[in-house]
Homo-oligomer: A and B are copies of this chain.
Amino acid sequence: MTTESAGRRSVPVDGAAFLASMRELSLIGATAGGGVHRLAASAEDGQARDWLAQWLRQRGFTIKVDAIGNLFGVLEWRRGAPYVLCGSHLDSQPQAGKLDGAYGVVAAAHAADRLRLQAEANGEVPAFNVAVVSWTNEEGARFQPSLLGSSVYSKTMTAADALAVCDEAGISVGEALTAIGYAGRDQAPWPPAVCAEIHIEQGHALEDAGRSIGLVAFNWAAHKYEIEVIGRQAHTGPTPMAERRDALLGASYLIVAARELVEQLAPRLLHTSVARLVTRPNSPNSVTSQATLFLELRSPDPEVLVDAERLLFEAFERVRQNTGVAISCPKVVRRGVRHFDAEGLELARASAHALGLECMELATVAGQDAIAVGTIVPSVMLFVPSFLGIGHHEEEHTDDALLVSGVDMLTEVLARLCAGDLRSTVRGDLTARVAR
């Protein structure tokens, strides 16, 4: 199980065991199309959590579940020492792929367990403790907003607010967590020292460049708007066209306008979408009285988003005048461009070089738990390639060899982070930072 190298015993990556774990987990919420359907705090999410907790417990990790249901597997090597958090999320989009989130959680579990074996083999006590983590509701599919668990951990959202969020059926996060037995009462591992996450890219930059590891340098800025369009219910038959105030028509003009921003402003530097739309009464014969749109604008250039938002609000005015609907925007979340810790990036690059892995820097367009936690401690984010860049789809795929080299890479990064190689984590400014 261990190999000798320069007098120190090193445990090699066990790719077969890792892939077996992925196969086991993928059975939970498996879909006919080869993916998984494991919405946050659903029965399937509960089963996936049970599976992870059992795997960790069997290897000596202590399981902790905090108030928002974040699931931690803790190795407390030094009592009271800060934690290296390492993980991702077990929840999925509807009818989604097996890797998004799940890969990062299982990779973290295997990486941390390998560190455990290595420490035992060498009689070492790492400088920092480690906590494998599955964050609650990263996806934001069943419950909006996304990144719920990691945002509560990072104190940008209160647990009370997060627990009160309801799905379309009116079930709150708190009720759903209680139903699956994950409304926890444990204190989350604290203080954090640093956070690490590995994820599939969900784009094809790595594949195009032929690299096996991506070092995430920064995240795109994103604006997320919840938009209310208010019309007036009326009969779709006799009501004269000129007297209608059709909220679905208004919403449709906005959806088209959002798409057209791309060519208007910055092809390739602006991504726009409306992917969730809720309408009332949604009857074939009654003009829509209310439409709620979830509209996203994303760019690596914050100035582009400023322009896009201005044009979007101008579109509101145009649509109001054309259709007679009222439009408001009760919720806006604006996430800025944020650079990942520069020293962490260099530590990751050095890790890749040590392992002989071809890496490159890139950005994450998607939101990630490591971005949320990165607001309180340095975070290191790694990508493995995604076949054809497929994401949020059952056909999501990464070759086994790439998945395993990603686990090896994460283990190396985790070893260095636990050893205290990231100077910023031991500079003494940690307490001040996490208390902000």
Contact = CB atoms under 8 A, between A and B. Distances in A.
Interface in A387-436: 389-394
A284 B224 contact: yes
Contact of A233 (B140, B287, B294, B393): B393
A283 B202 CA distance: 17
Interface stretch (A11-19, A62-70, A173-181, A244-252): A244-252
Contacts of A172: none
Interface stretch (A88-96, A152-160, A308-316, A342-350): A88-96
Contact of A284 (B241, B251, B294, B389): B294
A88 to B, nearest CB: 15
Contact of A93 (B202, B286, B294): B286
A283 B93 contact: yes
A337 interface: no
Decide if the interface of chain A is mainly helix, strand, loop or mixed. Answer: loop
Interface residues of A, number: 71
Interface in A214-272: 220, 222, 224, 232-241, 243, 246, 248-249, 251-253, 255-256, 259, 262, 267-268, 270-272
Interface stretch (A51-59, A122-130, A190-198, A274-282): A274-282
A96 B238 CA distance: 15
Contacts of A278: 282
Contacts of A118: none
Q: Which interface residue of A237, A243, A259, A393 has the most chain B CB atoms within 10 A?
A: A237
Given A390-B234, A391-B235, A249 B241 contact: no
A386 to B, nearest CB: 9
Contact of A241 (B240, B241, B267): B267
Given A233-B394, A235-B366, A248-B275, 17 more contacts: A139-B285, A141-B283, A146-B284, A203-B240, A232-B393, A235-B365, A235-B392, A236-B296, A237-B296, A237-B366, A241-B271, A248-B255, A248-B277, A249-B274, A275-B282, A276-B283, A285-B296
A298 interface: yes
* Residue picked from A96, A139, A201, A236, most chain B C-beta under 10 Å: A236
B94 A283 contact: yes
A42 interface: no
A288 interface: yes
Contacts of A285: 93, 139-141, 146, 275, 296, 366, 392
A144 interface: yes
B238 A249 contact: no
A367 interface: yes
A287 B237 contact: no
Given A203-B239, A238-B389, A256-B256, A281 B365 contact: no
Given A236-B275, A393-B232, A286 B141 contact: yes
B275 A238 contact: no
Interface in A319-370: 364-367
A273 interface: yes
B282 A233 contact: no
B281 A94 contact: yes
